[in-house]
């Protein structure tokens, strides 16, 4: 299926080139923030609130100052003197850096301790915590109670805020949709919770902030997926104390997992920057595991999903109503104009004309966040809702869920396709994906086996998810973060000897950019990918860009690389015409060289042409061989996938075993099949995580009950089934290399396939929905409630 | 996080002797594993400490106990205790209702405690509190019986045993 235009030596697109970055990782030579050691460096730790909602009555700094090595204790009152106690979030909400009077969630930063060693800072924290006196108040934990009349107003600091609603959003055709629902033969409805989970990257957040008083220059070594955007944010927050943007350098070194959790600006970063600015020495802060797990989150959408259709299985309309629990501030990192991110992709892969969606965001006494965990801004939530309710609809009318999907798919020839919520899907061939998935898994045989298993009282289920993703944010007419348009950039410099360095505004956190970007340039320019050095993450040398998240790097920066390389190929053509003494029109390109049409022996290699650009270029031509491009995508890209999951549930212990998982992805043209497959494997594992294991649980007082990796189960190879992957290729028509982005599809597509499979296994017993994570205990409880466990699970006639 | 702990036990001692022991905070506190009264503030108010250790997690609450109600005729009492973890990890509140009734020559004691733990300790407490408190209660009853019988006992808390009880509790649940 994948055809390569370049030789293996050139290693362009489609070659499974080994990852360049792996050499340093397998040799233990990666550089993470915590590896940075600077002369005279101080260490910071942060004392946090044990309560979810409380007034701070007193902070006795002396307790920490008495600890050997502690140099300073910084509180909200201290930052208030510099107007640094609040900061804007990326969603134009406001967040405390440190509180002056009220704490809003358990684990919130209350005071920072600066010391000469990490141990002393921790001792200072331990000493300080008992010296913080609180007046504990009753928190709002349940978002459904946040709008009650007797609920306390959580954000009186916000002007005009009269209740605990942050915002309301809606899209679609409200009246027409209501009419269809009122008249439809079949209407199905389920209440779903997509639980609060954590990206749980192995590396926590951290910073080394290094302010040089003499030069008035700040360098921050930072765990960030978006170094350039962060530089701008620091300048916006701290410009008034003299830190303007040209005086700020942000360096993101190797990152031990980002997944969206390292896009926001966290209070710890700002406090460390304030500390180095005031003290004039480098300050290191590395968040500990529990602090990391309990201070940000992804998801947490309560969704009422409905679908209307005909008895014979034609989908007519869908409706979704969301209650979004944002914690005490909207700390998401969506494009400004999209408070629910790309949730409006939730009409899925299906051809119907009417939909209505609305969302209400609610403040509660929980940590802020709503970050896009390996998902292009709330797409996981949307896909889960549409894929679950589609299955529910199939169940209601007694139609096979694969057949129902096939009958309702948007057809290959109907692209570009206008969705009822305003998107223009670029391309797709959903049936081809589903056909391949069904063939691979042997779907029909499985359904026969299932019927036999049910008769024996065995619990076996088959679940599908045929999703459409929406990635590559985004076109500048609609997409910005804090006003900055979401284009991205590439700058290529080819040295006289034909070797190159290319720099980008994005930042890999494991995606393999050092390999794949080089392959894109190799594809376009014919310089072997091994000869191209890729550099990202340092704002001083790299061109501006908005970073890596939302599967946007290939759709934006990857496109920029291709176009910049094409500019250079054009320049090479001019030089070739000059050297070969022919007209440009007489030249033909083959990866790695320009040659005269009909006379392939008259050729100049790209290396010769580059050398000439420095040594023997035509008069009047600019010397050197460099190009930069800032790519503004004309549209988003719409990857898709067809996933099928087969589960067996133990009728005694209710242990859920994923027997098979087939994932067919369509991400357009694939740059490196091996890297793409690695992305899919990781993403699928992060897909079983919320489906079966992960959820941050709070009690009624707002205590996080599973704030360690002992209690919060992150699946590893032990829990992972054997992933069977494959792909179909439907190129994006508007992307220069036809690529769509792959990083997030598996995380988005896997949870509903697993949930649908488990619920399919329980279908004989009247179970129509279970919220994720679906644990053995949840299955046991559901069967118990249906009275099934009073008798044995045996003999269901399908 | 709120938990309700109940304990009912019979004791071969006359009701008046049992009540006298139970209604005296200075004596009774000596039977509570890990607890001590440090100061009597006035007739109804005492200051004290309770230490708990769940494996690697330690909590030491400094707090106050108030006798809200004490009926020497009906043999009923209500105590309210409030404490702050000395490491700043949160607070705990406890309301205890106790009643003693005659049972033949002996007495029957009935306790109901509602405990509310706030703060980071709730993380561990949620799953352990019932098993651990059942174990502590057993130890308390043993101590109390020894107190009335004039036998020697100590109220040291054995961390291993508490953790062991919790682990045993977890495993016994699985086989339910």
The DSSP-derived string for B29-52 is HTTSTTEEEEEE-SSSEEEEEEEE
Residue A238: name the closest of A272, A207, A208, A279 by CA: A272
Which helix (H) or strand (E) segment holds residue A403: the answer is helix A401-408
**How confident is residue B126, by pLDDT bands cut at 50, 70 and 90?**
low
Instruction: Report whether pLDDT(B157) > 70.
Output: no
In this structure, what token pair is assigned to residue A710?
Answer: 């002992």
Query: Would you state the pLDDT for residue A298?
Result: 94
Q: From A653, which residue of chain B is nearest by alpha-carbon distance? A: B174
Q: Which of B1, B85, B86 comes nearest A703 by C-beta?
A: B1
DSSP label of A617: P
Q: What is the mean pLDDT of residues B141-164?
A: 74
Contact between A701 and B122 using a beta-carbon 8 Å cutoff: yes
DSSP label of A778: H
Strand pairing category for A109-115 and A70-75: antiparallel
Query: Would you state the pLDDT for residue B159?
Result: 44
Predicted interface score ipTM higher than 0.90: no
Strand segments, DSSP code E, in chain B are 2-11, 35-40, 45-54, 57-71, 76-85, 90-103, 106-119
The most distant pair of C-alpha atoms in chain B lies apart, rounded to whole Å, by: 49
Contact between B88 and A50 using a beta-carbon 8 Å cutoff: yes
A/B interface, count of CB pairs below 8 Å? 53
Q: What is the mean pLDDT of residues B143-147?
A: 89
A130 contacts in chain B (CB < 8 Å)? 84-88
Residue A446: name the closest of A650, A660, A723, A758 by CA: A660
Q: From A652, which residue of chain B is nearest by alpha-carbon distance? A: B175
Q: Measured between alpha carbons, how far is A280 from A216 in angstroms, rounded to an integer?
A: 10
SS3 content of chain A, % helix, strand, coil (to 5): 30, 25, 45
Query: Would you state the pLDDT for residue A439?
Result: 98
> Measured in whole angstroms, how far is the alpha carbon of residue A581 from the centre of its chain?
51
Q: Measured between alpha carbons, how far is A150 from A689 in angstroms, rounded to an integer?
A: 37
Q: Residue window 124-153, chain B: list those with CB within 8 Å of chain A.
A: 126
Count of Cβ atoms closer than 10 Å to residue A124 Cβ: 31
Q: What is the mean pLDDT of residues A330-355?
A: 95
B123 contacts in chain A (CB < 8 Å)? 703-708, 711
Residue A136: name the closest of B45, B3, B122 by CA: B122
CA distance A297 to chain B (A): 18
Which helix (H) or strand (E) segment holds residue A188: the answer is strand A186-197
pLDDT digits (tens, 9 = 90+) for A490-544: 999 999 999 999 999 999 999 999 999 999 999 999 999 999 999 999 999 999 9
Instruction: Report whether pLDDT(B163) > 60.
Output: no
In Å, how far are A315, A379, A380, A539, B161 from A389, measured between CA atoms? 11, 15, 14, 45, 50
B87 contacts in chain A (CB < 8 Å)? 126, 129-130
Q: What angle do CA A341, A345, A349 make, to 5 degrees?
A: 160
Greater confidence (B7 vs B53) lies with: B7
Q: Measured between alpha carbons, how far is A306 from B92 in angstroms, rounded to an integer?
A: 44
Contact between B89 and A50 using a beta-carbon 8 Å cutoff: yes
Count of Cβ atoms closer than 10 Å to residue A310 Cβ: 12
Q: From B175, which residue of chain A is nearest by alpha-carbon distance? A: A653
Contact between A701 and B120 using a beta-carbon 8 Å cutoff: no
Instruction: Report whether pLDDT(B173) > 50.
Output: no
Q: From B124, which residue of chain A is nearest by alpha-carbon distance? A: A705
**How confident is residue B175, by pLDDT bands cut at 50, 70 and 90?**
very low
In this structure, what token pair is assigned to residue A784?
Answer: 């118990």
To the nearest whole percent, how much of chain A has pLDDT over 90? 92
Contact between B87 and A129 using a beta-carbon 8 Å cutoff: yes
Q: From A129, which residue of chain B is nearest by alpha-carbon distance? A: B88
Query: Would you state the pLDDT for residue A54?
Result: 97
Instruction: Report whether pLDDT(B160) > 50.
Output: no
**How confident is residue B176, by pLDDT bands cut at 50, 70 and 90?**
very low
Query: Would you state the pLDDT for residue B151?
Result: 87
Residue with tokens 């409880």: A781
In Å, how far are A524, A561, A595 from A534, measured between CA atoms? 16, 11, 29
pLDDT digits (tens, 9 = 90+) for A554-572: 999 999 999 999 999 999 9
What is the pLDDT of chain A when averaged over all its residues? 95
B84 contacts in chain A (CB < 8 Å)? 130
Domains and CATH numbers, chain A: 22-30+488-631 (3.30.365.10), 35-137+218-285 (3.90.1170.50), 298-473+636-786 (3.30.365.10)
DSSP three-state, residue B144 = helix
Instruction: Report whether pLDDT(A798) > 50.
Output: no
Q: Does A775 touch chain B (CB under 8 A)?
A: no
Query: Would you state the pLDDT for residue B71?
Result: 94
Instruction: Report whether pLDDT(B129) > 80.
Output: no
Which residues lie across from A661 on neighbouring strands? A645, A723
Which helix (H) or strand (E) segment holds residue A304: the answer is strand A298-309
Query: Would you state the pLDDT for residue B166?
Result: 54
Q: How many residues does chain B have?
A: 176
Residue A406: name the closest of A438, A442, A382, A430 by CA: A430
Query: Would you state the pLDDT for residue A236?
Result: 86
Instruction: Report whether pLDDT(B127) > 90.
Output: no
Q: What is the mean pLDDT of residues A210-228?
A: 97
A423 dihedral zone (left: phi>0; alpha: psi -120 to 50; beta): beta
Instruction: Report whether pLDDT(A386) > 90.
Output: yes
B91 contacts in chain A (CB < 8 Å)? 50, 136
Query: Would you state the pLDDT for residue B165?
Result: 56
CA-CA-CA-CA torsion sign (A232, A233, A236, A238): negative
Query: Would you state the pLDDT for residue A129?
Result: 93
Q: Does B122 touch chain A (CB under 8 A)?
A: yes
Question: Annotated active-site positions of A, please?
Answer: 225, 374-375, 744
Residue A575: name the closest of A628, A498, A489, A490 by CA: A498
A708 contacts in chain B (CB < 8 Å)? 123
Count of Cβ atoms closer than 10 Å to residue B50 Cβ: 22
**How confident is residue B169, by pLDDT bands cut at 50, 70 and 90?**
low
Q: What is the mean pLDDT of residues A708-732?
A: 94
Count of Cβ atoms closer than 10 Å to residue B91 Cβ: 20
Contact between B88 and A131 using a beta-carbon 8 Å cutoff: yes
Instruction: Report whether pLDDT(B57) > 90.
Output: no
Greater confidence (A124 vs B115) lies with: A124
Residue with tokens 């605990």: A164
Residues 6+ apart with CB under 8 A from A561: A490, A492, A502, A504, A517, A520, A521, A524, A629
Q: What is the mean pLDDT of residues A127-141?
A: 94
In Å, how far are A247, A249, A278, A281, A416 from A212, measured between CA atoms? 10, 12, 11, 8, 54
**Spatial contact of B46 and B39, defined as CB atoms under 8 Å apart:** yes
């Amino acid at each position: 299926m994948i055809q390569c235009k370049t030789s293996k030596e050139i290693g362009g697109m489609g070659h499974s080139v080994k990852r360049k970055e792996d050499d340093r990782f397998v040799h233990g030579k990666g550089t993470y923030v915590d590896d940075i050691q600077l002369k005279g460096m101080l260490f910071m730790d942060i004392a946090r609130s044990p309560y979810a909602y409380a007034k701070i009555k007193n902070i006795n700094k002396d307790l920490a100052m008495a600890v050997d090595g502690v140099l300073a204790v910084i509180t909200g009152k201290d930052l208030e003197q510099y107007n640094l106690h609040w900061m804007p979030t990326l969603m134009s909400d406001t967040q405390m850096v440190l509180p002056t009077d009220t704490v809003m969630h358990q684990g919130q930063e209350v005071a920072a301790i600066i010391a000469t060693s990490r141990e002393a800072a921790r001792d200072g924290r331990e000493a300080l915590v008992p010296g913080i006196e609180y007046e504990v108040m009753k928190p709002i934990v349940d978002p459904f109670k946040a709008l009650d009349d007797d609920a306390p107003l959580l954000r009186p600091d916000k002007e005009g805020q009269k209740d605990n609603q942050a915002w309301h959003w809606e899209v679609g055709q409200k009246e027409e949709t209501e009419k269809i629902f009122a008249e439809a033969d079949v209407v199905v409805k389920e209440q779903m919770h997509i639980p609060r989970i954590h990206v749980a990257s192995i590396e926590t957040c951290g910073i080394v902030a290094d302010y040089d008083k003499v030069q008035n220059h700040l360098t921050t070594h930072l765990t960030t997926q978006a170094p350039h955007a962060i530089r701008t944010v620091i300048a916006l927050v701290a410009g008034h104390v003299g830190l303007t943007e040209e005086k700020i350098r942000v360096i993101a070194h190797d990152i031990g997992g980002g997944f969206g959790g390292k896009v926001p600006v966290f209070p710890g970063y700002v406090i460390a920057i304030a500390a180095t600015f005031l003290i004039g020495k480098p300050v290191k802060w590395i968040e500990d595991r529990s602090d990391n797990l309990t201070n940000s989150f992804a998801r947490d959408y309560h969704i009422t999903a409905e679908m209307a259709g005909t008895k014979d299985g034609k989908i007519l309309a869908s409706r979704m109503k969301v209650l979004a629990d944002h914690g005490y501030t909207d700390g998401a990192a969506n494009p400004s104009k999209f408070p629910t991110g790309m949730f409006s992709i939730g009409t899925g892969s299906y051809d119907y004309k009417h939909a209505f969606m609305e969302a209400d965001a609610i403040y509660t006494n929980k940590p802020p966040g709503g970050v896009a965990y390996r998902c292009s801004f709330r797409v996981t939530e949307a896909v889960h809702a549409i894929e679950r309710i589609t299955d529910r609809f199939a169940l209601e009318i007694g139609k096979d869920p694969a057949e129902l999907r096939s009958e309702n798919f948007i057809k290959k020839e109907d692209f570009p396709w206008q969705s009822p919520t305003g998107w223009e899907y670029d391309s797709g061939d959903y049936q081809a994906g589903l056909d391949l998935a069904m063939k691979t898994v042997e779907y029909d045989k499985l359904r026969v086996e299932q019927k036999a298993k049910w008769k024996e009282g065995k619990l076996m289920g088959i679940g599908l998810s045929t999703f459409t993703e929406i990635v590559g944010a985004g076109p500048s007419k609609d997409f910005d973060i804090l006003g900055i348009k979401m284009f991205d950039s590439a700058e290529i410099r080819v040295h006289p000897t034909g070797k190159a360095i290319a720099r980008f505004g994005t930042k890999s956190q494991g995606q393999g950019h050092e390999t794949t970007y080089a392959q894109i340039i190799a594809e376009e320019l014919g310089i072997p990918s091994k000869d191209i050095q890729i550099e990202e993450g340092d704002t001083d040398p790299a061109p501006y860009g908005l970073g890596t998240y939302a599967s946007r790097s290939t759709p934006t920066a990857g496109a920029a690389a291709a176009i910049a390389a094409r500019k250079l190929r054009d320049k090479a053509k001019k030089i070739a015409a000059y050297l070969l003494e022919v007209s440009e029109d007489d030249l033909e390109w083959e990866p790695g060289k320009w040659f005269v049409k009909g006379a392939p022996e008259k050729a100049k290699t790209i290396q010769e042409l580059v050398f000439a650009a420095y040594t023997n270029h035509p008069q009047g031509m600019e010397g050197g061989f460099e190009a930069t491009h800032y790519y503004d995508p004309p549209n988003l890209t719409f990857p898709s996938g067809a996933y099928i999951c087969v589960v067996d549930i133990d009728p005694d212990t209710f242990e859920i075993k994923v027997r098979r998982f087939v994932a067919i992805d369509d991400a357009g043209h694939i740059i490196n099949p091996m890297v793409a497959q690695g992305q899919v494997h990781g993403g699928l594992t992060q897909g079983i995580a919320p489906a079966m294991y992960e959820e941050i649980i709070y009690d009624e007082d707002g205590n996080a009950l599973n704030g360690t990796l002992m209690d919060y189960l992150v699946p590893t190879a032990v829990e992972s089934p054997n992933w069977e992957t494959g792909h179909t290729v439907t190129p994006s028509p508007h992307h220069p290399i036809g690529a769509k982005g792959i990083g997030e599809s598996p995380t988005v597509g896997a949870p509903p396939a697993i949930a649908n499979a488990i619920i399919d296994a329980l279908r004989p017993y009247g179970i129509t929905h279970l919220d994720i994570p679906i644990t053995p205990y949840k299955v046991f409880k559901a069967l118990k409630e249906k009275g099934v466990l009073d008798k044995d699970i045996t003999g269901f006639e399908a | 996080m709120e938990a309700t702990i109940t304990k009912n036990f019979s004791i071969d001692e006359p009701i008046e002797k049992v009540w006298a022991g139970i209604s005296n905070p200075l004596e009774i506190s000596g039977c509570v594993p890990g607890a001590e009264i440090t100061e009597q503030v006035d007739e109804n108010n005492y200051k004290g400490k309770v230490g708990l250790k769940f494996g690697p997690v330690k909590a030491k609450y400094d707090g106050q106990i108030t006798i809200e109600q004490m009926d020497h005729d009906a043999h009923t009492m209500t105590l309210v205790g409030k404490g702050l973890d000395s490491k700043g990890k949160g607070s705990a509140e406890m309301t205890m209702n106790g009643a003693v009734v005659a049972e033949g020559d002996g007495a029957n004691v009935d306790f109901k405690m509602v405990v509310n733990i706030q703060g980071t300790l709730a993380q561990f407490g949620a799953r352990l509190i019932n098993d651990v408190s059942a174990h502590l209660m057993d130890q308390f009853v043993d101590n109390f019986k020894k107190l009335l019988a004039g036998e020697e006992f100590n109220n040291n808390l054995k961390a291993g045993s508490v953790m062991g009880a919790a682990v045993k509790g977890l495993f016994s649940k699985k086989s339910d």
